[in-house]
Amino acid sequence: MLVRQKMMFSIVAVCMLILVLATTAYTLTARRMLSDYTLPGTATLFYGLLQTEISTAHTDLPHIQSMMNQLVRHVRIRELALYNPQGERIAHSLRDESIPQLLPLLKQLPADLAVDAFPLEKDGEKLTLVITEQDDLPEYFYLNIFTTTLLITAISVLMIFLLYALVRRWQQRPYQSLLDTIHQTVETNSDALIRLQTRDPDLQPLTDTLNDLFWVRNQRTMHLQTAHRLAESARKRATRLSSETRQVNESLAREVSIRRSVETQLKHTQDLLDSILNAMPTGLFALDINNRVVQCNQQAGEWLDMDHHQLTGMQISRLIPELEEQGLLPPPDEEEPVLSRAERLPLPSVNEHLITDVLAYPLPPGQMARLVIRIDDVSQRQRMEEIMVQTEKMMTVGGLAAGMAHEINNPLGAILQNLQNIRRRLQPDMPANQRVADNLQLSLESLHQYLTEREVLRFFDHIQDAGERAAAIVANMLQFARNDHSQKRSIRLEELLEETFTIAASDLSLGDISTDIDPQDKQRSIRCVPSEIQQVLLNLLRNAGQALDDMPQSHVAEILLSVQFTADQVIFRVSDNGPGIPADVAAHIFEPFFTTKEVGEGTGLGLSVSYFIVTSHHQGQMVYRPGPGGVGACFEVRLPLLTV
């Protein structure tokens, strides 16, 4: 904001402040004069008028009321009330009905109410006149004050703007004169020294400064002219030299171009080699004579959780101590290291705990590195080999199960058939049985009663139940061998688990089994062979109960069965808080005939058969992992939902 604008605004603000202060002072003075002089005289005057009117003999109460209505129209009077000796209001007048009344019964007047009370007497009766005045100024007073203030403000603003225009003209006049002088001097003496003069003392500092600037400008012009002459002389000499150096530059340019081409080819070759090394899934380390890393690829850095460039210069024995323990690193004083290798070498020092094949082979002499270490990850290959072995074992179990099932099925059928014949030949309602009994003088009813009391018939039922269960086992074994899925059907999860828990409670004598299942998931259906999945779950629950039996009596046994549905799978988890399974044993738990129990207590087929049911019959997955926090064991069964 310019100085003249600031000055104008300051003057306007001061004038406005003066108007506000003057108006406020005038209003306060008027209110004080009204309160101290006008109001008391008005109340006394109205009291005298009413006293004179009441003293007249023919004045009645309606006449007094009419007179009070006339008096209350005065701008200073707010309310009039006339009270009898008992304090009752017998006449009342209010100037504006919209304002609240302040004068009820005389005895009920507020204690803090400031009013004027005057005694009156009419026909010997003592009366009281109460007058409330309005000490505020009338509205027309404020209106006149506001109108006058606006008029004064408008005139003041107009005069201020006129003064501002005049001051601005006075202020610009000397500067315009100085500017005209500068233009005339520059036009007449463009190269000569410019010298300004002024008679205005306020502009004298500005004139002196401009004269100094013009003097500096003149000096710089002279120096530039001298430098121009020198530059022209140098340009001529450079022109002569340019023809001499042009040939030299052309020859240098050809050599630089050849050198750049060679460097580009070397750079591309280096990038190609680095890309090949970094793309290899094998860890490569080039070592010097002190077994320090000279170069390594990106895979090596990822295994060690470092950038492969940061590994340069570090001792390989500190990064992977297993290499030195296996004798794959030659001593520093050995001039020509020999080829060495190690297969199935575990490397717990790297992040992924790999199983590797390591090959150390020497480089030709004269290189920065003398030995290269190649580390191949064979963990996946080892797992695949284990899976192949496991699959081969399960196929063997399937063939063995088929043979055993056919061998067992014949005597089992004979047992069940002979049991059925025994039941038939003991029935008293068959004529053949009755005829033989009569020949032998034997009562079939007594015989049936004897068999019932001696529980022989119940033994027959047990034999039949055991035979039918054995037949079901044989059918399952044949099912394992045939890999037949024709018995798959849809079953609700709730129904499947209820049957499983019923069998677990009656046959396995397990304690309480906790569940973690969403109520909505219980109504969902899965497609499977229900008896086989029940067999898998019962086998896992039985193993959990047997593991908890070995715990101390003070240990609180817990078995948890949880079910979770994902987008394409249903996941069963059976976990316990028992001793868990050691790592060396966990690698073989799904192998046929592998057991940690005493001879005669286990066959080693429970988990292997369950694994075969889940993976072969239902195309699912079955894995073992330690329980939460490493406590107990957890078996996880995953079944696909694609055919649900």
Give the tens place of pLDDT for each residue, 267-306: 888 888 888 878 888 888 998 888 899 889 888 888 888 8
* C-beta separation of 157 from 86 below 8 A: no
* C-beta separation of 77 from 96 below 8 A: no
- The answer to whether residue 86 scores a pLDDT higher than 60 is yes
* C-beta separation of 282 from 354 below 8 A: no
- The answer to whether residue 392 scores a pLDDT higher than 70 is no
- Just give the CATH number of 3-140: 3.30.450
Average the pLDDT over 416-438 and give the result. 84
Which of 93-97, 439-443, 546-550 is modeled with the greatest confidence? 439-443
Residue 597's pLDDT band, with cuts at 50, 70 and 90, is low
- The answer to whether residue 195 scores a pLDDT higher than 60 is yes
3-state secondary structure (DSSP) of residue 257:
helix
* C-beta separation of 532 from 476 below 8 A: yes
For the segment(s) 280-377, the CATH number from 3.30.750.24, 3.30.450.20, 3.40.50.1000, 3.50.50.60 is 3.30.450.20
- The answer to whether residue 637 scores a pLDDT higher than 90 is yes
Among 120, 140, 102, 112, CA closest to 49: 120
Among 129, 128, 103, CA closest to 46: 129
pLDDT at residue number 639: 93
Residue 638's pLDDT band, with cuts at 50, 70 and 90, is very high
Rounded to whole angstroms, how far apart are CA atoms 122 and 115?
Answer: 22
Q: Which two tokens stand for residue 221?
A: 């012009």
Which residue matches tokens 């306020």?
A: 202
pLDDT at residue number 608: 79
Q: Which of 90-94, 167-171, 276-280 has the lowest mean pLDDT?
A: 167-171
pLDDT at residue number 506: 54
Rounded to whole angstroms, how far apart are CA atoms 497 and 29?
Answer: 99
- The answer to whether residue 570 scores a pLDDT higher than 70 is yes
Which residue matches tokens 């090394």?
A: 277
Q: Which of 164-178, 396-410, 522-536 has the lowest mean pLDDT?
A: 396-410
Residue 485's pLDDT band, with cuts at 50, 70 and 90, is very low
pLDDT at residue number 189: 59
- The answer to whether residue 483 scores a pLDDT higher than 60 is no
Q: Which two tokens stand for residue 4?
A: 């003249």
Average the pLDDT over 604-612 and give the result. 78
Q: What is the CA radius of gyration of the chain?
A: 60
Residue 618's pLDDT band, with cuts at 50, 70 and 90, is confident
3-state secondary structure (DSSP) of residue 352:
coil
pLDDT at residue number 58: 62
SS (H, E, C) 289-318: CCCEEEEECHHHHHHCCCCCCCCCCCEHHH
Q: Which of 156-160, 198-202, 364-368, 389-393 has the lowest mean pLDDT?
A: 389-393
Q: Which two tokens stand for residue 295?
A: 């170069």
Calculate what percentage of the chain has a pLDDT beyond 70: 81
Q: Which of 202-211, 445-454, 508-517 has the lowest mean pLDDT?
A: 508-517
Q: Which residue has the higher pLDDT, 67 or 197?
A: 67
Rounded to whole angstroms, how far apart are CA atoms 452 and 466?
Answer: 20
The domain spans of the chain are 3-140, 280-377, 382-482, 486-644
Q: Which residue has the higher pLDDT, 192 or 356?
A: 356
DSSP string, 561-617: EEEEE-SSEEEEEEEE-S----HHHHTTTTSTT---SPTTT--S-HHHHHHHIIIII
Residue 1's pLDDT band, with cuts at 50, 70 and 90, is low
Rounded to whole angstroms, how far apart are CA atoms 134 and 77?
Answer: 6
pLDDT at residue number 236: 87
pLDDT at residue number 564: 92
Q: Is 374 exposed, middle or buried (0-12, 13-18, 19+ CB in 10 A)?
A: middle
- The answer to whether residue 593 scores a pLDDT higher than 80 is no
Q: Which residue has the higher pLDDT, 389 or 299?
A: 299
pLDDT at residue number 641: 84
pLDDT at residue number 112: 55
pLDDT at residue number 41: 62
Q: Which two tokens stand for residue 148?
A: 């006058």
Q: Which residue has the higher pLDDT, 605 or 495?
A: 495
Residue 47's pLDDT band, with cuts at 50, 70 and 90, is confident
- Just give the CATH number of 486-644: 3.30.565.10
Q: Hey, how many other C-beta atoms are within 10 angstroms of the C-beta on 21?
A: 10
Residue 636's pLDDT band, with cuts at 50, 70 and 90, is very high
Average the pLDDT over 124-151 and give the result. 76
Q: With both helix axes pointing from N to C terminus, report the angle between 493-503 and 530-549 in degrees, rounded to the nearest 10.
A: 50
pLDDT at residue number 643: 47
- The secondary element (H helix, E strand) that includes residue 64 is helix 61-71
Calculate what percentage of the chain has a pLDDT beyond 90: 3
Which pairing describes strands 569-576 and 340-347: parallel, antiparallel, or unpaired?
A: unpaired
Residue 507's pLDDT band, with cuts at 50, 70 and 90, is low
Q: Which residue has the higher pLDDT, 185 or 324?
A: 324
pLDDT at residue number 456: 84
392 CB-near residues (< 8 Å, 6+ apart): none
Average the pLDDT over 26-48 and give the result. 67
Rounded to whole angstroms, how far apart are CA atoms 157 and 547?
Answer: 103
What's at 478, amino acid-wise?
L
* C-beta separation of 90 from 83 below 8 A: yes
Compute the mean pLDDT over every residue in the chain, rounded to the nearest whole number.
Answer: 79
* C-beta separation of 520 from 566 below 8 A: no
Q: Which two tokens stand for residue 609?
A: 């058969």
Average the pLDDT over 422-430 and give the result. 83
Each residue of 222-267: pLDDT tens digit? 888 888 888 888 888 888 888 888 888 888 888 888 988 888 888 8
Fold agreement (280-377, 486-644)? no
Which pairing describes strands 293-296 and 283-287: parallel, antiparallel, or unpaired?
A: antiparallel
Diameter of the chain measured on Cα atoms = 170
- The answer to whether residue 207 scores a pLDDT higher than 80 is no
Break the chain down into helix, strand, coil percent, rounded to 5: 55, 15, 25
Residue 400's pLDDT band, with cuts at 50, 70 and 90, is low
Average the pLDDT over 595-613 and give the result. 70
Which of 74-88, 124-138, 237-251 is modeled with the greatest confidence? 237-251
Rounded to whole angstroms, how far apart are CA atoms 516 and 511?
Answer: 16
- The answer to whether residue 479 scores a pLDDT higher than 70 is no
Rounded to whole angstroms, how far apart are CA atoms 377 and 300?
Answer: 11
- The answer to whether residue 42 scores a pLDDT higher than 80 is no
Average the pLDDT over 492-514 and give the result. 73
C-alpha distances (whole Å) from 392 to each of 180, 397, 478, 612 are 112, 9, 18, 11
Average the pLDDT over 28-34 and give the result. 68
pLDDT at residue number 515: 86
- Within its chain, how far is the Cα of 636 from the centroid? 30
